[in-house]
Amino acid sequence: MYNKKTIEDVAVAGKKVLVRCDFNVPLKDGKITSDKRIVEALPTIKYLLAQGAKVILCSHMGKPKGEVNPKYSLAPVAARLTELLGQTVELANDIVGEDAKAKAAALKEGQAMLLENVRFDAREEKNDPEFAKELASMAEVYVNDAFGTAHRAHATTAGVADYLPAVCGYLIQKEIGIMGKALANPERPFVAILGGAKVKDKLNVINNLLTKVDTLIIGGGMAYTFLAAKGYGVGKSLLDEEKIDYCKDMMKKAEEKGVKLLLPVDTTVCAGFPDPIDAPVETKNVSADAIPADMEGLDIGEKTMELYAEAAKSAKTVVWNGPMGVFENPTLAKGTIAVAKALAESEATTIVGGGDSAAACEQLGFADRITHISTGGGASLEFLEGLELPGIACLQDK
């Protein structure tokens, strides 16, 4: 899965190249609030333009559910690309309609255009072959550079590869290069830190990682189901009763494989979940086996923070996915901050899976001290599960 052809392995000069990007940027009142995803796509776009390709960019934005919705138009993206590239990037007012086809046909070498939101067409998410064929008919080469949607088999992420030579851009190359090596051949000790609320979201990840890591650290809401599996009372904390036996099996599997499975030794408890989420809360630090019946664990405790930070600092490879507590609340973000800081200070290869953990590293200013922050939350999780991602499987092998 990791040895895919890239844009440098195919001739693109003078050719029309369809590039799937992830321009799903946050908007407020029609203005882009973070252009990070657009900036991350620039190396691939600039390379293709410099090679004299005629570049047709495409992306989804939001969930317009297969209908044209001006709120999700890519017009602000086209405007920002025009500024960043220093040349006009025209937006087609459709995807495979007359306007798109006319603008694509008129492209000159070294020029780029952008198709309208591909999810305005219901056929995109259904991976409709006719739609994929129409998209492919506008180009001669297909490039996927949208790791954030690589776990989805949609027309623009996988379908068009049936009709065009398909390669990856620099962003996907970096994702599969760094994450692929970490999973296939990591420098040891290899430590994985998993957080987040639900055990069921991470079942297969835990299972897969137990065959690869030296130490597996569990935090976040899902830790309480593990603590319950140890026979501890967890008070009003998040608990998935149906997964208690699964947690017991995982602890046994870790023991059999000689993998250290670290669980919280203490926890930060409150009388209840903060409402609103960032409201001031009164907290208490209690031992993991002494959570009061009327309290709720909402972050890892102080000793656990030290324990997890120590494990991260002594590792050679660390993968982290999911916060340690209710990260949106300043008082309950301490565990997540402690882990982010430990990764930033570690000499190891550090990989942070998208979503909340990536946001934590960025907000805290640690991003430049992390080896790799994944651009895809769901995609990086499925990668850690050892699943084949459709948007990568469809690309040509070297």
52, 97, 177, 378: the active-site residue: 378
Q: Are 63 and 119 in contact (CB under 8 A)?
A: yes
Q: DSSP letters of 212-277?
A: T-SEEEE-STTHHHHHHHTT---TTS---GGGHHHHHHHHHHHHHHT-EEE--SEEEEESS--SST
Q: Are 297 and 326 in contact (CB under 8 A)?
A: no
Q: Are 284 and 317 in contact (CB under 8 A)?
A: no
Active site annotation includes 108: no
∠ CA 289-291-295, rounded to 5°: 170
Q: Are 390 and 152 in contact (CB under 8 A)?
A: yes
Active site annotation includes 198: yes
Q: How far apart are CA 252 and CA 247, in angstroms?
A: 9
Active site annotation includes 365: no
From residue 132, alpha-carbon distances to 66, 213, 397 in Å are: 15, 40, 21
Cβ neighbours around 13 below 10 Å, total: 12
195, 335, 355, 376: the active-site residue: 355
198, 248, 260, 303: the active-site residue: 198
Active site annotation includes 257: no
Q: Are 199 and 225 in contact (CB under 8 A)?
A: yes
4, 37, 103, 123: the active-site residue: 37
- Residue from 308, 310, 309, 319 nearest 372 by CA: 319
The residues annotated with a catalytic role in the active site are: 37, 198, 355, 378
